[in-house]
Amino acid sequence: MSPHLEPLSRGTLATVPSVCHDCVWWQARGRRTVSKERWIGQAEEKWGAWGTVYYDDDGRPLGLMQHGPASFFPRTHELPAGPASEDAVLVACAYLVDPASPWVIQSLFLAAIGEARLRRARALEAFAFRYLENEGFEERLLLHRAIFPHDLLADLGFVTVRNAGRVQLARLDLGGLEPSVEPERGGLLGAFKRLRWPVPAPAPPRP
């Protein structure tokens, strides 16, 4: 089996890191409690799969990304630079498991872009953070990330919609434009390319 992407859903949730099984940080607002199981049922009924999982050739998950209509993630109303736009698909968070596989984040973003385009969404959005130059890959992307490096999103074609200090809301409009998959030499994706990333896996089919 070659490396591949699968939709993140009730069926694949059991294969990803356990921290993601019950986490409802994005789904909650304020101090309200939310049932992850109930949220999954509503999300899949209204939208379908609510993210993507990247598996290696042994079927081991290397990373996952959660994305869906911005309205599914009320936490955006409480974040600096929020809320996300009502017409956008939001990349809520990502979890990278293996530091030796940094290209996974690019494949997951490209899958989210492809899914948003298939569903005729007007844009893809994500929250960004301007890291200091001396903060490396481990600080920026390993493990759980709800806010992504500004330079990573800029390399993919996202532009800043709103600033709040070092936090930004970034947007990629999908009106007929194809995202750039050639990393800029000085960007974070350019650094990933110098690590000899493989060809990204294709986007998963629609559920």
pLDDT tens-place string over residues 157-194: 999 999 999 899 999 999 754 444 444 444 444 444 43
Strands 148-149 and 4-7, by their bridges, are unpaired
Which residues in the chain show pLDDT less than 50?
Answer: 177-203, 207
What burial class does residue 167 get, using C-beta atoms within 10 Å of its C-beta: 0-12 exposed, 13-18 middle, 19+ buried?
A: middle
Within 10 Å of residue 61's Cβ, how many Cβ atoms? 20
Structure token digits, residue 3: 């490396």
CA atoms of 149 and 172, how far apart (whole Å): 15
Residue 133 is predicted with a pLDDT of: 65
Domains of the chain: 4-193 (3.40.630.30)
Largest CA distance in the chain: 45
Residue 111 is predicted with a pLDDT of: 94
pLDDT tens-place string over residues 130-144: 876 665 555 555 555
* Three-state DSSP string of 16-79: CCHHHCCCCCCCCCCCCCCCHHHHHHHHHHHCCCCEEEEECCCCCEEEEEEEEEHHHCHHHHCC
Q: Which residues, at least 6 apart from 46, have a Cβ–Cβ distance to it below 8 Å?
A: 69
Residue 136 is predicted with a pLDDT of: 55
Residue 150 is predicted with a pLDDT of: 87
What pTM was computed for the model? 0.82
Structure token digits, residue 148: 């992504």
